[in-house]
Amino acid sequence: LVLSLIVAMVGCSSAPSNGEQGEAGSVEQEKYVIRAGIGLNDQHPQYKGLEIFKEYIERESDGRVEVQLFHSSQLGDDIQMMEALQLGSQEVTCPSSAPITSIDKRFMIFDLPFLFPTEEVASDFVDGPLGQELLDGLEEHGLVGLAYWENGYRHLTNNVREVKTPEDMKGLKIRTMENQVHLDFFRALGANPTPMPFGELFTAMQQGVVDGQENPVPTIYLQNYPEVQKYTTLTGHVYSPFVLLMSKVFWDGLPADLQEIVQEAAFIARDEERRISREYTEELADGLREAGMTVTELTPEQQQMFQEATSSTVEKFKNEIGADYVEQVLAEIERLSNR
């Protein structure tokens, strides 16, 4: 009786976690838990993508893998979550490419202003050989790049004045992502950039710590920025991809058949996430107007003024990233644009 009680107690306390087997001596297969955390909230296309990722993995693995989702920086900010992946204490995150530049500065190419003419060219680029090369380079830093999802073209919001030209940017305190190119870009426009994790942004705008920020339309709308911001200018200054990352420690411990399922899930969810993101981008510019914001579209001349005012950033970071590499990237974008 004592022996069977002990066996029962041990059985209860050893809920299988990553890579652990079920009860001793049983033929049960190993169980895995993937904790996936993001900064955006559960209304955003990124979270909808994660729901598809979860559903596919849990179904195809027959319950051998459980995927737990955390939004709104519940597990930390982008940089903290990437570090947790490197340590193996979290399994998945999906930052914008910008904070990844602290790991590999070649990711700065995505922060160069006015680089991608359309979303289609951007996604063809990231899904092509140069995008894959960047993902492959993450492995030596303890990260597996599963796929590029879409954040989209970033636009400016602020609470001080309508911005139509670089002149209107003078002195505005703008939150940027934690990224050198963005800082330089906003300094070149005469603004006063403040890098800050995404999770602190809403309160910073509410309390007037910053006057504004820049993010794609779905984020501006779904994170309720119209409550604390009056003006949106559709600058489209940068195209941000998301990078779906997995901890390499965790990946290496997954059996090959589960690795395959995870990779397939990343691609299936990517296609759907991009579709939803583009749909929301189209619909929600009007949503911003309905929510009381002044939404300003730039004329081609005004757009050109922004481009000229930030051309020094492109020149400066070309050398920092590697001139030959940047030339290769520009040639590929040119090729994809002219197909």
Instruction: List residues binding ligand KDG (CB under 6 A).
Output: 38-40, 46, 78, 94-96, 151, 177, 198, 215, 240
Residue 332 C-beta: closest distance to ligand KDG, Å:
24
> Is 78 or 124 the residue whose CB approaches ligand KDG more closely?
78
Smallest distance, Å, CB 298 to ligand KDG? 21
**DSSP string computed for 254-316:** S-HHHHHHHHHHHHHHHHHHHHHHHHHHHHHHHHHHHTT-EEEEPPHHHHHHHHHHTHHHHHH
Closer by beta carbon to ligand KDG, 99 or else 258: 99
- Least distance to ligand KDG, CB of residue 258, Å: 25
* Residue 195: CB minimum distance to ligand KDG, A: 10
For residue 31, report the phi and psi dihedrals to the nearest 5 degrees. -115, 145
Residue nearer to ligand KDG on the CB measure, 123 or 215:
215
Q: Would you say 245 or 309 has its CB closer to ligand KDG?
A: 245
Beta carbons of 297 and 155 less than 8 angstroms apart: no
3-state secondary structure 99-140: HHHHCCHHHHHHHCCCCCCCHHHHHHHHHCHHHHHHHHHCHH
Contact 102, 86 (CB under 8 A): no
Q: Would you say 222 or 261 has its CB closer to ligand KDG?
A: 222
CB of 227 to ligand KDG, least distance (A): 17
Assigned token pair, 203: 């309160």
* 39 versus 212: smaller Cβ distance to ligand KDG: 39
Q: With contact defined as beta carbons under 8 Å apart, do 250 and 30 qualify?
A: no
Longest dimension (CA), the chain: 85
CB of 77 to ligand KDG, least distance (A): 7
Is residue 38 within 8 A of residue 70, CB to CB? The reply is yes
Q: Which residues pair with 147 in a beta bridge?
A: 244
